[in-house]
């Protein structure tokens, strides 16, 4: 199915979105911190899922996703950093994911994963690591709603933004046109979010720079203002 058909991201139109990443939350205060970004205007929550194999870290379980889904009315953008996303996709669909992105570098057959996600009527996205060429997403551009470009190495939050990924953002935007969202994840702050927006991204994952800030709501608002400044130009 082509992007735009049963695409749950369509509810947002083409407006830019800041997606706070729950990986950076204080998990003793998860519900409280989710409520803070909701009140600040977050429409999307980003959920990083890691298997300790595809990346050297473990996070976040289907049970946590189910709890967030039950306790929040926000769109859940789930990023599977898993060796076998085809096997695990059903667990996160059942947990309440609204959209799922998976890596083109994973072992599962990408077309089978896309078919599973489409059948479940959740959003479909592919992800590329920093070392993976933009060309790796070309076979899927007519089948996905989103391309996620990692601007750090996947696996851990709080890393520095990799500026060499800006050319990849531009290349993917040229490939997909305006109908497919381009998400960026890693080192996103009020300065780097502007650079990514100018390159063609429209969905911005921010973890440590939101949830580890002294004022979570103010940090989220600062990102919104920065993106709006690009839109106004």
> Edge-to-edge strands of the sheet including 75-81?
17-20, 203-206, 181-185, 146-150, 123-128, 99-103, 75-81, 44-51, 58-59
Decide if 185 is catalytic.
Answer: yes
Which one is catalytic: 77, 98, 145, 185? Answer: 185
Question: Which residues are registered as beta bridge partners of 131?
Answer: none
Cβ-contact 205, 19 below 8 angstroms: yes
Decide if 77 is catalytic.
Answer: no
Packing angle of the helix pair 30-40, 62-71 (nearest 10 deg): 50
Give the tokens for residue 23. Answer: 């990986």
Cβ-contact 180, 145 below 8 angstroms: yes
In the chain, DSSP assigns E strands to 17-20, 44-51, 58-59, 75-81, 99-103, 123-128, 146-150, 181-185, 203-206
Which one is catalytic: 48, 51, 77, 145? Answer: 48
Q: Please, what is the Cα angle at 177 between 173 and 182, to 5 degrees?
A: 45
Q: What gap in Å lies between CA 203 and CA 117, rounded to an integer? A: 20
Q: Write out the catalytic residue numbers.
A: 48, 185
């Amino acid at each position: 199915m082509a992007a735009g058909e049963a695409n749950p991201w369509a509810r947002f139109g083409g407006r830019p979105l800041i997606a706070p990443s729950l990986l950076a939350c204080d998990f003793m205060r998860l519900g409280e911190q989710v409520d803070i970004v909701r009140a600040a205007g977050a429409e999307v929550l980003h959920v990083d899922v890691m298997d300790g194999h595809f990346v050297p870290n473990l996070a976040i379980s289907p049970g946590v996703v189910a709890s967030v889904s039950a306790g929040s009315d926000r769109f859940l953008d789930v990023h599977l950093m898993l060796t076998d996303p085809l096997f695990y996709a059903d667990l996160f669909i059942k947990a309440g994911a609204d959209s799922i992105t998976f890596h083109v570098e994973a072992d599962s057959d990408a077309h089978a994963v896309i078919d599973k996600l489409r059948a479940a009527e959740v959003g479909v996205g592919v992800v590329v690591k920093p070392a993976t060429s933009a060309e790796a997403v070309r076979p899927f551009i007519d089948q996905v709603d989103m391309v996620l470009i990692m601007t750090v190495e996947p696996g851990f939050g709080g890393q520095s933004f990799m500026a060499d990924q800006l050319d990849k953002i531009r290349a993917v935007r040229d490939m997909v046109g305006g109908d497919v969202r381009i998400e960026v994840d890693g080192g996103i702050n009020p300065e780097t979010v502007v650079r990514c927006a100018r390159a063609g991204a429209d969905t911005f994952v921010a973890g440590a720079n939101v949830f580890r800030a002294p004022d979570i709501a103010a940090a989220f608002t600062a990102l919104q203002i920065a993106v709006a400044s690009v839109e106004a130009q």
